[in-house]
Amino acid sequence: MDKVKFCNVPSYDEIGVKALYDKVVKLPGMAQYFPDKMPVGKQCCKPYMYNIWNTIYPDDVTAVINHANANRHAISSQRVKDETIVLTEQWQDELDSLPFVSK
């Protein structure tokens, strides 16, 4: 236990056990720490998987978490385009001509 490098992982689906378990277990030296089969409908404990993975491949875990955070917190250009309202001069004049009172 004193050799395990514990880590906290965000609760994102894209870096969850379901998404990464098969890839993690196939890494060299990892399969010995995981069962050959899991009961139907069950999956590995997320903290266990990440703590073992972080102990053996700490740079990989850091990269996966950083990538997930960057994607979660980045504003995509398509999203900005989808949420942008284009206002013509005609509509600007029309809106300016209407009385507006903030309440």
Range of the domain at 65: 13-97
Q: With respect to residue 64, please indicate whether it lies within any of the assigned structural domains.
A: yes
The answer to the question of residue 59 being in a domain is: yes
pLDDT band at 70 (very low <50, low <70, confident <90, very high): confident
Of 38-42, 57-61, 71-75, 94-98, minimum mean pLDDT range: 71-75
The answer to whether the beta carbons of residues 25 and 31 sit under 8 Å apart is yes
Residue 24 pLDDT > 80: yes
Q: Is residue 3 part of a domain?
A: no
Domains of the chain: total: 1
Q: What is the pLDDT of residues 40-66, one digit of tens each?
A: 989 999 999 999 999 999 999 999 999
**Chain centre distance of CA 94:** 44
Mean per-residue pLDDT, 84-102: 88
Instruction: Answer yes or no: is 33 within a domain.
Output: yes
Over residues 21-31, the mean pLDDT reads: 95
Residue whose token pair is 């029309």: 94
Average pLDDT over residues 81-88: 83
Look at residue 102 and tell me if it is in a domain: no
Task: Name which of 50, 7, 8 is nearest 27 in CA terms.
Answer: 50
